Amino acid sequence: MLSDKHFQLACKNRLGVAPYPIQATHCGGCNASVLDDPWHDLSCVHRRKNELNVRHDMVVKCIKYYADIAGACSRLEPNGLSEDNRKRPDLELFLDHIHQLVDVTIVHPTCRSYLNRAQEPLATAELAASNKLNKYRTMGAQLQAAIVPFAIESFGGFSRTAQDSIDNLAHFASNRSTVFQKDELIRDFISSLSVAVQRGNALAVINGWRMTAAVSA
């Protein structure tokens, strides 16, 4: 569940309304102008190291939770998959004979670098998914594993690969003795992911506002 404050911010984000009635002119973390981007905290470099990283981790753990419910074998941030051990996906899944490497990315379509592409629905999520696919393509070929880019937009949209992953896990669960029906698992899975994203968004915006207020004081 979302708190009232987090729900209010989620609604404002979807409606294109500024998070707060009084906005500073510059970000307190990176000093970038926020006059044209009141939701700058959802793409701020400083917030990426903090709340946005927490948001990412909440989504990864949510995927692992539902993968475990579905009956898959899962491993968080597996080591030793690349030759130099510097490249690690967020999650390794085994759905019986199917080996998957899942990597999560959450992007903010209305930040300046994505504005042109964001004119097309979900184009930002698809670009992020494509970048992840290219990043892990060699590793996937070496391990004979399917690369699953799990890209989500800050407004809540899922890339095609993320949607397929949810459906595949639900289908896998429906063929095993789990307490969830396929449609039930899909509904709960998507709801949990959506809450994690919006909670992470709210944390970033609230703490970004506090930092900016402290710097301006």
Domain-located, residue 216: no
Domain-located, residue 162: yes
Q: pTM for this one?
A: 0.91
Residue 17 lies in domain: 4-210
Number of domains in the chain: 1
pLDDT tens-digit readout, 152-188:
999 999 999 999 999 999 999 888 766 778 888 999 9
- Residue 136 pLDDT: 93
Across the range 117-136, mean pLDDT stands at: 92
Burial (0-12, 13-18, 19+ Cβ within 10 Å), 162: buried
Domain-located, residue 217: no
Domain-located, residue 215: no
- Structure-block tokens of residue 132: 């992840």
Domain-located, residue 81: yes
pLDDT tens-digit readout, 185-214:
999 999 999 999 999 999 999 999 888 877
Domain-located, residue 159: yes
Nearest in space to 107 (alpha carbons), one of 135, 121, 136, 127: 127
Question: Using CA atoms, how far apart are residues 67 and 71, in angstroms rounded to an integer?
Answer: 6
Domain-located, residue 115: yes
- Structure-block tokens of residue 209: 């506002």
